[in-house]
Amino acid sequence: MSKARVAILISGRGSNMEALIRAAQASDYPAEIVGVFSNIPEAAGLETARAHGLATAARHHRDFPTKPAFEAALEAQLTAWGTEYVALAGFMRLLSAEFTTRWQGRLINIHPSLLPLYRGLHTHEQALAAGARDHGCTVHFVTPGMDEGPVIAQARVPVMPGDTPETLAARVLTAEHQLYPEALARLVRGEVVFPG
């Protein structure tokens, strides 16, 4: 079986990255992880990726004069890895319209809410403040607008009495680790395509 070549972009801990790496270790998983890129050289997830024997690259966005210059370096690395799909996993930089358009249909993200609810940061605080009875996570295609692209898959978790942002985040994160590998597999198998 020829496997789809997937690069992962991170900015931090990388637990979703690790869920993808572990899923891709299965011989029947339809994708392989060809490299992990971070805009934060100290991101803990880079060490985790290296411990799994994966190629990594880090370029701090602040070391580039402009977003296009940063994205040119990112693009060069993706090309060097022979990347076919890009999975954002806690990558906390907004990508330009040029970049997201070039990768349209092959660039996905995981977000810790049931989009279109609670875009941006602090989604668990937002859900609790809204008195939500359930919450969750979304894998979606990336488009120029933040947390806006077409939804690929969602997982729902209950909000429990006494939940704090931390307890709720932990419940959602467990769901993220299940959902992301499933959604990526569906994408690379062609079971889901960018609409339109």
111 tagged catalytic: yes
- Using the contact rule CB under 6 A, the part of the chain among 6-14, 46-54, 61-69, 71-79 near ligand GAR is 6-14
One of 59, 111, 135, 171 touching ligand GAR (CB under 6 A): 111
- The yes or no reply on residue 110 touching ligand GAR (CB under 6 A) is yes
Which one, 69 or 156, has the nearer CB to ligand GAR? 156
* CB neighbour class for 117 (10 Å; exposed up to 12, middle 13-18, buried from 19): middle
| Residues 7-26 within binding reach of ligand GAR (CB under 6 A) | 10, 12-16
Phi, psi of 101 (to 5 degrees): -70, -40
Angle of the 15-24 helix axis to the 44-51 helix axis, nearest 10: 20
| Amino acid identity at 195 | P
Q: What does the alpha-carbon distance between residue 26 and residue 69 come to, in Å, rounded to a whole number? A: 36
- Cα–Cα distances (Å) from 157 to 13, 109, 127, 135, 175, in that order, read 22, 19, 12, 5, 8
- Cα–Cα distances (Å) from 54 to 83, 95, 123, in that order, read 14, 24, 31
Kindly state the smallest distance separating residue 86's Cβ from ligand GAR, in Å: 14
User: Looking at 111, 124, 135, 140, which residue is catalytic?
Assistant: 111
| Residues 136-155 within binding reach of ligand GAR (CB under 6 A) | 147
- The yes or no reply on residue 112 touching ligand GAR (CB under 6 A) is yes
Instruction: State the residues that interact with ligand GAR by CB under 6 A.
Output: 10, 12-16, 45, 89-90, 110-112, 147, 173, 176
**Any idea which residues carry the catalytic annotation?**
111
